[in-house]
């Protein structure tokens, strides 16, 4: 037996609001389709229609204004269970604000249903004109009547490629019409025309919905594109990108007892990110938890390149670094980029190339000629130096990762070993 969709009979709208009819008929249509409430993911937008969330026994996600169709599309793309139904509730205001999201979901024919609650105005914020308000309709921002024509959302969505669009009046029992829309495989959009008693009726007295719909010039009806629904694996053999991520086994040990915030920084094109990646992977192979975040200017090969690494024997809940414990600096670009952080250090260690000016810091500064093996190898050599001097991870663990990743031929391994043994 299907469980109740609504947990209350008192829906939170003003008396006579068309949203009430849409909510009740949507749940009725879902019941007719035998969906269990927990097989329905209802994505709502900002606006009066969106306050239905708390009354529903389905899954609910409340999006930012206009973005609910993008959220719904993401949920649909991530969903592999064909028994789940993704529905987006959005107003005419949200449709205006997030038009491109609806167009994209239509173009790709993403499997979900968008229910546009078109009450011709921004209800929740006091009755302003939206992009779907018809000409002549009075709102709190157009007391003389809207001078513009509204978007034809059905035509736009249909032309973009939606499997099914339809425009219906929000009167009487519309559950069969909604059922038809909800059954579509692929992208379906239904624009339900209604009126907001609190603003629409007050500002347009004596006007009936049927007359407003007629003068709006957008016909009722349905429009179909015979298309396959979007399949996230189309054209790709990859099932899951995460499957590509290598599993690093623990083979070494680390004596790190407390979390360590480490920054490796130098110049772009000088192997900073490679070095930071090696140290991170070597740390994982030594049983540590690691986060690594690279940062460099968009202009490739110019300016600084920096990597923030957190090493910890326990779980890491925050990947940012306010004040580092250890900093490795191999060039003037790296020093300039991290100067404030280094100056804020009250302890810890700074390993820096001997060509650089020592900054004002409470950290112990250890200088060495990292660039002696060539600018391109400065960061690689510096992380080996760090490993040797601190013992946080072993140099063997870094050599092992280099070998496993087949990077040995590109790096001056013999020179690094010689330089390390001379220390």
* Residue ranges in contact with ligand TPP by CB under 6 A: 46-49, 65, 91-94, 97, 117, 119, 122-125, 130
How many of the other CB atoms lie within 10 Å of CB of 295?
A: 13
Taking the complex as a whole, the smallest distance from the CB of residue 92 to ligand TPP amounts, in Å, to: 4
Please select the residue that binds ligand SF4; options are 27, 96, 119, 330, rule is CB under 6 A.
Answer: 119
Stretch that binds Mg ion, among 6-14, 50-58, 112-120, 350-358 (CB under 5 A): 112-120
- Decide if residue 92 touches Mg ion (CB under 5 A): yes
Which CB sits closer to ligand TPP, 21 or 97? 97
**Within a 10 A sphere around the Cβ of 315, how many other Cβ atoms?**
7
- Backbone φ, ψ for residue 162 (5° rounding): -55, 140
Candidates 123, 150, 200, 324; binder of Mg ion (CB under 5 A) is 123
Tell whether residue 90 is a contact of ligand SF4 (CB under 6 A): no
Q: Which of 2, 8, 14, 64 lies at the binding interface for ligand SF4 (CB under 6 A)?
A: 14
Tell me if 23 contacts ligand SF4 by CB under 6 A. Answer: no
CB 69 to ligand TPP: min, Å:
12
Q: Please state, as a whole number, how many other Cβ atoms lie within 10 Å of the Cβ of residue 246.
A: 8
Q: Is 334 in the site for Mg ion (CB under 5 A)?
A: no
Pick what 46 binds: Mg ion, ligand TPP, ligand SF4, none; C-beta below 5 to 8 Å, kind-dependent: ligand TPP
* Shortest distance, position 142 Cβ to ligand SF4, whole Å: 17
Choose between 105 and 192: whose C-beta lies nearer to ligand TPP: 192
Distance CA 68, CA 57 (A): 19
334 binds, among Mg ion, ligand TPP, ligand SF4, none (CB under 5 to 8 A by kind): none
Find the shortest distance in angstroms from Cβ 248 to Mg ion: 52
3-state secondary structure the chain: CCCCCECCCCCCCCCCCHHHHHHHHHHHHHHHCCCCHHHEEEEECCCHHHHHHHHECCEEEECCCCCHHHHHHHHHHHCCCCCCEEEEEEEHHHHHHCHHHHHHHHHHCCCEEEEEEECCEECCCCCEECCCCCCCCCECCECCCCCCCCCCHHHHHHHHCCCEEEEEECCCCCHHHHHHHHCCCCEEEEEEECCCHHHHHHHCCCCCHHHHHHHHCCCCEEEECCCCCCCCCCCCCCCCHHHHCCCCCCCCCCCCCCCEEEEEEEECCCCHHHHHHHHHHHHHHCCCEEEEEEECCCCCCCCEEEEEEEEECCCCCCCCCCCCCEEEECCHHHHHHHHHHHHCCCCCEEEEECCCCCCCCCCEEEEECHHHHCHHHHHHHHHHHHHHHHCCCCHHHHHHHHHHCCCHHHCCHHHHHHHHHCC
Is residue 197 part of the contact set for ligand SF4 (CB under 6 A)? yes
- CB-nearer residue toward ligand TPP: 198 or 292: 198
Is position 119 an interface residue for Mg ion (rule: CB under 5 A)?
yes
Based on the shown chain and the rule CB under 6 A, indicate whether residue 19 belongs to the binding site for ligand SF4.
yes
**Residue of minimal CB distance from Mg ion?**
91
Determine, following the binding rule CB under 6 A, whether residue 89 of this chain makes contact with ligand SF4. no
The interface region with ligand SF4, picked from 74-82, 119-127, 318-326, 349-357 by CB under 6 A, is 119-127
- Cα separation, 267 vs 251, in Å, equals 32
Q: Of 46-85, which residues contact ligand SF4 (CB under 6 A)?
A: 48
Reading the block at residue 29, the tokens are 């249509």
94 binds, among Mg ion, ligand TPP, ligand SF4, none (CB under 5 to 8 A by kind): ligand TPP
Judged by beta carbon, residue 20 or residue 308, the one nearer ligand TPP is 20
Cβ closer to Mg ion: 170 or 359? 170
CB of 93 or CB of 324, closer to Mg ion: 93
CB of 89 to ligand SF4, least distance (A): 12
CB closer to ligand TPP out of 119 and 188: 119
When asked if residue 280 is in the footprint of ligand SF4 (CB under 6 A), the reply is no
Of 154, 146, 108, the closest CA to residue 128 belongs to 146
Size of the site for Mg ion (CB under 5 A): 5
Q: Which residues bind ligand SF4 (CB under 6 A)?
A: 13-14, 17, 19, 48, 119, 123-124, 196-199
């Amino acid at each position: 037996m299907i469980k109740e969709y609504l947990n209350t009979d008192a829906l939170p709208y003003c008396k006579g609001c068309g949203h009430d009819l849409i909510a009740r008929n949507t749940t009725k249509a879902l019941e007719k389709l035998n969906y269990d409430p927990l097989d329905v993911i209802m994505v709502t937008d900002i606006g009066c229609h969106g306050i239905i969330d708390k009354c529903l026994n389905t899954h609910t996600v409340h999006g930012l204004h206009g973005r609910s169709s993008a959220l719904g599309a993401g949920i649909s793309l991530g969903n592999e269970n064909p028994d789940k139904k993704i529905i987006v509730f959005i107003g005419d205001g949200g449709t205006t604000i997030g038009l491109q999201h609806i167009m994209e979901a239509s173009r790709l024919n993403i499997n979900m249903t968008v229910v546009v609650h078109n009450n011709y105005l921004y209800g929740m914020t006091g009755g302003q004109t939206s992009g779907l308000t018809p000409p002549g309709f009075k709102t709190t921002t157009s007391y003389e009547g809207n001078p513009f024509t509204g978007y034809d959302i059905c035509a736009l969505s249909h032309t973009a490629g939606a499997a099914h669009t339809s425009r219906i009046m929000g009167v009487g029992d519309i559950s069969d019409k909604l059922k038809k829309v909800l059954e579509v495989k692929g992208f379906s959009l239904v624009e339900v025309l209604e009126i907001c008693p609190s603003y629409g009726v007050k500002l347009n007295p004596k006007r009936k919905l049927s007359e407003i719909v007629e003068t709006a010039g957008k016909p009722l009806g349905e429009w179909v594109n015979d298309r396959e629904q979007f399949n996230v694996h189309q054209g790709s053999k990859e099932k899951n990108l995460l499957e590509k991520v290598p599993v690093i086994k623990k083979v070494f040990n680390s004596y790190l007892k407390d979390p360590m915030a480490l920054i490796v920084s130098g110049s772009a094109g000088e192997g900073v990110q490679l070095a930071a990646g090696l140290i991170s992977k070597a740390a994982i192979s030594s049983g540590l938890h690691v986060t690594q975040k690279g940062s460099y200017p968009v202009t490739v090969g110019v300016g600084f390149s920096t990597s923030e690494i957190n090493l910890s024997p326990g779980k890491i809940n925050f990947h940012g670094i306010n004040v580092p414990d250890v900093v490795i600096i191999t060039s003037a670009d790296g020093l300039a980029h991290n100067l404030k952080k280094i100056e804020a250090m009250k302890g810890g260690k700074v390993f820096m190339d001997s060509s650089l000016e020592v900054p004002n810091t409470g950290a112990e500064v250890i200088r060495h000629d990292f660039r002696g093996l060539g600018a391109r190898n400065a960061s690689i050599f510096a992380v080996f130096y760090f490993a040797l001097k601190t013992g946080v991870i072993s140099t063997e663990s870094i050599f092992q990762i280099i070998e496993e990743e087949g990077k040995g031929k590109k790096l001056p391994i013999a020179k690094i070993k010689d330089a390390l043994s001379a220390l």
